């Protein structure tokens, strides 16, 4: 186990407290925090620079929406694992993100145990 590399995650959300919560959750799940982004433009740039194993990305962010950032990330890295986060689970938004290549979708108000289970299940389904 010691020589097994921890998967790196990029956390993209414009709300600092959400990034902090997600950093804590992901660290507890044995992920390394590659970086955090406060908007969609930063998320795309950091993804290109760092090539993280997993991206947790808010749908609604300034400068570039999560949907636009997702589209750009998937265009450059079709195998990228991106889980979209939202405070509102509108069916159209969920379907659009999945259609753009998101690996999963989770509401921010999901209880922590369930959030961890969804992230882990998605990771185990899509990891290479």
pLDDT in tens, 22-78: 999 999 999 999 999 999 999 999 999 999 999 999 999 999 999 999 999 999 999
**CATH fold of 8-126:** Rossmann fold (3.40.50)
Per domain, the residue ranges of the chain are 8-126
Asked if 86 and 93 touch (Cβ cutoff 8 Å), the reply is yes
- The sign of the torsion formed by the CA atoms of 106, 123, 64, 33 equals positive
Query: For all residues of the chain together, what is the average pLDDT?
Result: 92
CA distance 104 to 102: 5
Asked if 55 and 82 touch (Cβ cutoff 8 Å), the reply is yes
């Amino acid at each position: 186990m010691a020589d097994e590399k921890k998967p790196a995650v990029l956390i993209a959300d414009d709300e600092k407290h959400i990034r902090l919560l997600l950093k804590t959750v992901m660290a507890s799940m044995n992920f390394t925090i590659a970086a955090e982004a406060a908007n969609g433009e930063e998320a795309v740039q950091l993804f290109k620079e760092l090539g993280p194993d997993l991206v947790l990305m808010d749908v609604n962010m300034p400068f570039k929406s999560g949907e636009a950032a997702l589209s750009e990330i998937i265009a450059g890295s079709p195998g990228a694992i991106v889980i979209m986060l939202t405070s509102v689970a509108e069916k159209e938004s969920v379907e659009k993100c999945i259609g753009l290549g998101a690996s999963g979708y989770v509401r921010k108000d999901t209880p922590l145990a369930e959030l961890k289970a969804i992230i882990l299940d998605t990771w185990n389904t899509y990891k290479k």
